[in-house]
């Protein structure tokens, strides 16, 4: 008998069910032993309090396209892992106890960064754990993609598309808040896909003067509206220069609900143009997974199940250089993956004329710049390559993964 546990942890996303289906179908197809499946309710809470359902393959049928999670989820912050629950229950010993009580052979944990840290802790306690990279934010270190990300891009893009028509009718500026926690992957991708004019992300601190100049330039050149896509974690250059403590204090003193309101207010005051805020919010985590997410979620589920059948544990399933990999949990736990400000997509978006608020693009050809390799000709404008003119907040292009010898790809 092969006894497995499944849990979904942290904020939900569209492809959790598709992933669990992938795990269970693969085990059913390939295991020589009968399978017993324990589905823990509401993430690690189910493991702590031994709240589970004994499930059958039928429970995983027909859920490929269903958003959310059939198991329920919750957040169990890693930093409070060693703080007993309100009723005195010690979380880690309780989880270890449930695992052994049910004689599990493997726990499949579908979760993001924080949840992966907890999974690594359970690995250190001797449990067989396999993590699968879930999050709309795409900020999990060690994998190029997380499931949930592409569906969230679609939702955010649709929002930008829809806002275009009303912004254009009224000749307004719209500031759209896009999820992503501390990183800018969704706003960057949805911003490009939706044709935003300005994209502000945490990895590229902005200067409001540049944002205002971009809007004014659009107005002067005949555009009736401007779409500003703003990451919920976007930060100005001024705030990025503050210490962590000073910035936290500033956030605590903020009177508006979030940064987009401050940005919109300043835009309206400085440009005189009617400005509105739009927030797609949790719709970005809702609805059905898109085709790409269904495929990647299924791949993750299959690889995790095959790894389990080979008796391989203690890693997160990942995508690197287009290959499915095992990344050791101790390598990925607690690390975030940021947008590289020097990346191709940022460079190309800038070449297209999208402002990131960090610099005021030179729109006229410089008088004496020699022709040749140092310039790019983009729609009639000459611009120096962004990499040459900007210092990034992250290491420049090149190697992004430091990988331990335990990592393996193309299993």
60 vs 78 by CB, closer to ligand F6P: 78
Q: Tell me phi and psi for residue 188, to 5 degrees.
A: -65, -50
Answer yes or no whether residue 135 interacts with ligand F6P by CB under 6 A: yes
Copy the structure tokens of residue 220: 């002067």
115 vs 275 by CB, closer to ligand F6P: 115
Contact 247/205 with Cβ under 8 angstroms? no
Q: Kindly state the number of chain residues that form the binding site for ligand F6P, as judged by CB under 6 A.
A: 10
Which residue's structure tokens are 């203690």? 314
55 vs 339 by CB, closer to ligand F6P: 339
294: three-class secondary structure by DSSP: helix
Among 6, 8, 11, 40, binds ligand F6P (CB under 6 A): 11
Instruction: Point out which span in 133-141, 243-251, 256-264, 294-302 binds ligand F6P (CB under 6 A).
Output: 133-141
Instruction: Point out which span in 154-162, 175-183, 315-323, 324-332 binds ligand F6P (CB under 6 A).
Output: 175-183
Answer yes or no whether residue 136 interacts with ligand F6P by CB under 6 A: yes
Answer yes or no whether residue 137 interacts with ligand F6P by CB under 6 A: yes
Whole-number Å distance between alpha carbons of 380 and 67: 45
Instruction: Point out which span in 154-162, 176-184, 210-218, 338-346 binds ligand F6P (CB under 6 A).
Output: 176-184
Catalytic residue from among 12, 137, 331, 358? 137
352 to 391: interface string for ligand F6P, x by CB under 6 A: ----------------------------------------
Instruction: Point out which span in 131-139, 255-263, 298-306, 313-321 binds ligand F6P (CB under 6 A).
Output: 131-139
Among 181, 337, 350, 390, binds ligand F6P (CB under 6 A): 181
Q: How far is the CB of 282 from ligand F6P (least distance, A)?
A: 6
Is residue 331 annotated as a catalytic residue, yes or no?
no
Q: Which residues pair with 109 in a beta bridge?
A: 7, 131
CA angle 390, 392, 398 (to 5 degrees): 110
Residue closest to ligand F6P (Cβ) = 179
Whole-number Å distance between alpha carbons of 107 and 140: 19
Copy the structure tokens of residue 229: 């896509």
CA dihedral for 35, 145, 182, 189, sign (positive or negative): negative
DSSP labels, 385-406: -HHHH---SS--SS------TT
Contact 59/20 with Cβ under 8 angstroms? no
Answer yes or no whether residue 15 interacts with ligand F6P by CB under 6 A: no
**Of 245, 215, 139, the residue nearest 184 (C-alpha):** 139
Helix axes 149-170, 291-309, angle to 10 degrees: 170
91 vs 181 by CB, closer to ligand F6P: 181
Q: How far is the CB of 169 from ligand F6P (least distance, A)?
A: 30
Helix axes 185-194, 149-170, angle to 10 degrees: 50
Residue 329 CA: distances (Å) to CA of 11, 20, 31, 116:
20, 20, 25, 7
281 to 320: interface string for ligand F6P, x by CB under 6 A: ----x-----------------------------------
Residues near ligand F6P, by CB under 6 A: 11, 112, 135-137, 179-181, 232, 285
Q: Catalytic positions, please? A: 137
């Amino acid at each position: 008998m092969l006894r497995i546990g499944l849990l979904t942890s942290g904020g939900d996303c569209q492809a959790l069910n598709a992933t669990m289906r992938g795990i269970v179908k693969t085990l059913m197809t390939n295991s020589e032993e009968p399978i017993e499946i324990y589905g823990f309710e509401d993430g690690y809470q189910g493991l702590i309090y031994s709240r589970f359902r004994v499930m059958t393959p039928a429970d995983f049928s027909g859920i490929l396209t269903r958003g959310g999670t059939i198991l329920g989820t919750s957040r169990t912050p890693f930093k409070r892992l060693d703080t007993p629950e309100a009723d005195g229950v010690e979380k880690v010993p309780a989880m270890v106890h449930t695992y052994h009580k049910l004689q599990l052979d493997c726990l499949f944990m579908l979760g993001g960064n924080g949840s992966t840290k907890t999974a690594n802790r359970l690995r250190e306690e001797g449990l067989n754990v396999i993590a699968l990279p879930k999050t709309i934010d795409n900020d999990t270190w060690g994998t190029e993609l997380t499931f949930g990300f592409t569906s969230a891009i679609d939702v955010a893009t649709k929002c930008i598309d829809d806002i275009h028509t009303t912004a254009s009718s009224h000749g307004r500026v719209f500031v759209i808040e896009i999820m992503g926690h501390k990183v800018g992957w969704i706003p960057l991708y949805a911003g490009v896909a939706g044709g935003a004019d300005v994209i502000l992300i945490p990895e590229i601190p902005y200067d409001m003067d540049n944002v205002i100049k971009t809007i004014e330039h659009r107005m002067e050149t005949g555009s009736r509206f401007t779409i500003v896509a703003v990451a919920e974690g976007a930060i100005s250059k001024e705030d990025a220069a503050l210490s962590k403590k000073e910035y936290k204090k500033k956030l605590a003193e903020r009177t508006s609900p979030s940064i987009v309101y401050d940005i919109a207010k300043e835009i309206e005051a400085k440009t005189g143009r009617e400005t509105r805020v739009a927030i797609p919010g949790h719709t970005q985590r809702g609805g059905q997974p898109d085709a790409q997410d269904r495929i990647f979620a299924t791949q993750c589920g299959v690889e995790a199940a095959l790894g389990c059948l080979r008796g391989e544990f203690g890693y997160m399933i990942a995508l690197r250089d287009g290959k499915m990999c095992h990344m050791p949990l101790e390598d990925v736990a607690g690390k975030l993956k940021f947008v590289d400000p020097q990346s191709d997509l940022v460079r190309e978006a800038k070449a297209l004329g999208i402002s990131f608020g960090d610099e005021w693009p030179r729109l006229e050809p410089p008088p004496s710049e020699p022709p040749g390799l140092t310039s790019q000709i983009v729609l009639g404008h000459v611009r120096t390559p962004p990499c040459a003119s900007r210092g990034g907040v992250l290491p420049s292009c090149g190697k992004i993964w430091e990988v331990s010898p335990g990592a393996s790809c193309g299993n």
